[in-house]
Amino acid sequence: MPAAADGYVKWIPQGVPWRNWHDTVKVPIRGVAMIYPPTNLAYGSASINRTTALIQQAIAAAKAAGDSIRAVGRGWSLSDLPATSGRLLDTGQLTNMKAIRADQIHPGYPGNADARAGLWLVQCGTRISQVNRVLESDAVGRSLRTTGAANGQTIVGATAAGTHGSALGFGALHDHIVAIHLIAGPDRQYWLERASRPVLKDSLPATLGAEVRRDDQLFNAVLVGLGAFGVIHNLVIETRKRFLLKSVSFDKAANGKPLLLDAAMRRVIATLDFDSHPLLKSPAGHGRPYFFQPIIDPNSKPSEVLVTLMYERPWKAGYAPDYRLADSTFGPGYDFLTVVGRLLDVFKPAVPFFAQVAKGQLFDTSARTGSWGEIFGFKVTRTKVASGSVAVPLERALATLDLLIGLNQDIGPAPLVFGCRYVAKSPALLAMNRFDTTFVVSIDGVHNKTSMNFFDAIPARMEAAGIPFTQHWGKVNGYTPARVAATFGSDFSNWVAARHVLLPDAADRALFSNSYMKARGLDI
């Protein structure tokens, strides 16, 4: 019998339904296969191979039992994307990362010197918080270009669902990825890269026993793969030189009154012309903002806006990031929004007040300077938040905002706020950020019936208005088979074709499927 230090799979049958981290999904499952990796090996080919064998052991057991199996890290998604009625494969302890050496890089890699210095191999269960902490250390001196608003997700969980931020001119979190190590069954594994951007020499994936496939289409399919291609064990990401962000927020105009969604603000939102707005004009020497996020309260009349701007600043020698949660005093507790959500279904007139509270809970708007990992750090709020997104081409930004505000007036008030974010286009076939500049309205707040009704009504309204849109796979969304096919067109059929190439056996495709995929016509 192997020693525990060699790593093992622990099968934990589940007598109670599985719930996601935010407590918005509750499904009965057969059980969880916990992957406990070896502790007697440093992260390298031997350790990876042993862990791959454990993952394949868990997949084989599921296949033998006729169960589906889906990898899950933190269960951070607010939708039932990772869920299954079969087995969950827990990757939460596969938390290693290491730099790629210069001599390991493929001669055809087109990245410049800075890119070559910033390639990192990251294991699937590594949390964004850990990636930030390692990269931003003095020993490394690197940084991610963007993340979501929080850092609790695992890197594969977040990227497989298409998580994004609002870094102007850069894409989503998955757009850091340049190589993927995919476990596609009990006896099949791939090392995927783009043909147009080879990254590692073949000798390295060969040490893993992985079949190397350099193919743009296959890579871009798995990049936002929704867990449908198997278990992603490792990734290679590109990072950038570390930097600081100076964050400033405005909720008052120059006259001291609330900042409103007036003509000047609408112009900035639609054009990103910051110089056109006296309050949002960049201070001398700051350049164009790195990050921009207006948050609109649709329950105030006229709509009030809270704006966060962040400017890139050089890293200061000796700067030590503080990643800790802030000390708490008496105030809203851990599950505050859950309680509020239940009460607001009964006391609807209180919605505008509590929308203000939710805004404060969900968005950190204090002025500060810090590293990326500090500013987009831990969130206290864990349970029962409502969250969904609508993404459109930038030129349809104002029409979309007006539509959503009107929808809230018609069926609300819903205890939600609208956070506006900007994401550059991704080559990933099923990326939410598929428009040249994708304007994303992140709709967040209190989870209750009114909020859910609001989310349910969005797709039909958008279609009636003729606005092309996508939604976040990992949040509440209204995707149907027809909408997926219409939204993604040939990219969707190419995604399906890629799945058939990498998983040629129907039984293996079924192994990694779930009801979420079937309901959206993705499992064909």
Partner 1 sequence: MRPHAGLAVALSCCLSACASHVIRAAEAEPYGVAGQPFTVGQTSIGGARGLSTAGSGHVTRDECRSDNLAEVEVRRNVGQTLVTLLTLGIVSPATIRFTCATQRPAPPPTPDDGL
Choose the stretch contacting partner 1; rule: CB under 8 A; options: 35-43, 294-302, 420-428, 457-465: 35-43
Cβ 142 to partner 1 shortest distance, Å: 9
Cβ 361 to partner 1 shortest distance, Å: 16
Partners of 371 in the β-ladder = 244
Cβ 104 to partner 1 shortest distance, Å: 8
Q: Which is closer to partner 1, CB of 42 or CB of 506?
A: 42
CA atoms of 316 and 518, how far apart (whole Å): 50
Q: Are 151 and 377 in contact (CB under 8 A)?
A: yes
Question: Binders of partner 1 among 344-363, rule CB under 8 A?
Answer: 346
Binding mask 235-254 for partner 1 (x = CB under 8 A): --------------------
Question: Binders of partner 1 among 125-144, rule CB under 8 A?
Answer: 127, 129-130, 133-134, 137, 139-140
Cβ 484 to partner 1 shortest distance, Å: 26
Question: Binders of partner 1 among 401-460, rule CB under 8 A?
Answer: none
Which of 24, 52, 79, 96 touches partner 1 (CB under 8 A)? 96
Choose the stretch contacting partner 1; rule: CB under 8 A; options: 36-44, 223-231, 245-253, 290-298: 36-44
Partners of 471 in the β-ladder = 390
Q: Does 342 bind partner 1 (CB under 8 A)?
A: yes
Question: Binders of partner 1 among 74-93, rule CB under 8 A?
Answer: 74-76, 88, 90, 92-93
Question: Binders of partner 1 among 194-213, rule CB under 8 A?
Answer: 204, 207-208
* Helix, strand, coil tally for the chain in percent (to 5): 35, 25, 40
Partners of 244 in the β-ladder = 313, 371
- Reading the block at residue 115, the tokens are 């890119």
CB atoms near residue 181 (< 10 Å): 22
CA atoms of 470 and 517, how far apart (whole Å): 16
Q: Which residue has the tokens 């009625």?
A: 85
Which of 59, 69, 121, 179 touches partner 1 (CB under 8 A)? 121
Of residues 147, 45, 52, the one with CA closest to residue 91: 52
Q: Does 470 bind partner 1 (CB under 8 A)?
A: no
Please give the full DSSP string across 14-77, using - where no structure is assigned: -SS-EE-TTS--EE--SEEEEEE--SSS-TTHHHHHHHHHHHHHHHHHHHHHT--EEEESS---
CA atoms of 385 and 25, how far apart (whole Å): 11
Q: Are 66 and 122 in contact (CB under 8 A)?
A: no
Q: Which is closer to partner 1, CB of 42 or CB of 284?
A: 42
Q: Which residue has the tokens 């929004």?
A: 337
Cβ 152 to partner 1 shortest distance, Å: 8
Amino acid, res. 433? N
Q: Which is closer to partner 1, CB of 353 or CB of 378?
A: 378
Amino acid, res. 303? S
Cβ 32 to partner 1 shortest distance, Å: 5
Is-cis flag, bond preceding 413, omega within 30?
A: yes
Q: Does 65 bind partner 1 (CB under 8 A)?
A: no
Q: Are 307 and 187 in contact (CB under 8 A)?
A: no
Cβ 197 to partner 1 shortest distance, Å: 20
- For the packed helices 351-362 and 336-346, what is the interaxial angle rounded to 10 degrees? 160
Is-cis flag, bond preceding 302, omega within 30?
A: yes
Cβ 299 to partner 1 shortest distance, Å: 22
Which of 3, 65, 343, 501 touches partner 1 (CB under 8 A)? 343
CA atoms of 280 and 308, how far apart (whole Å): 9
Cβ 82 to partner 1 shortest distance, Å: 8
Question: Binders of partner 1 among 300-339, rule CB under 8 A?
Answer: 323-325, 327, 333-335, 339
The footprint of partner 1 (CB under 8 A) covers 12, 18-21, 32, 34, 36, 39, 42-46, 48, 72-76, 88, 90, 92-93, 95-101, 104, 121, 127, 129-130, 133-134, 137, 139-140, 204, 207-208, 323-325, 327, 333-335, 339, 342-343, 346, 378
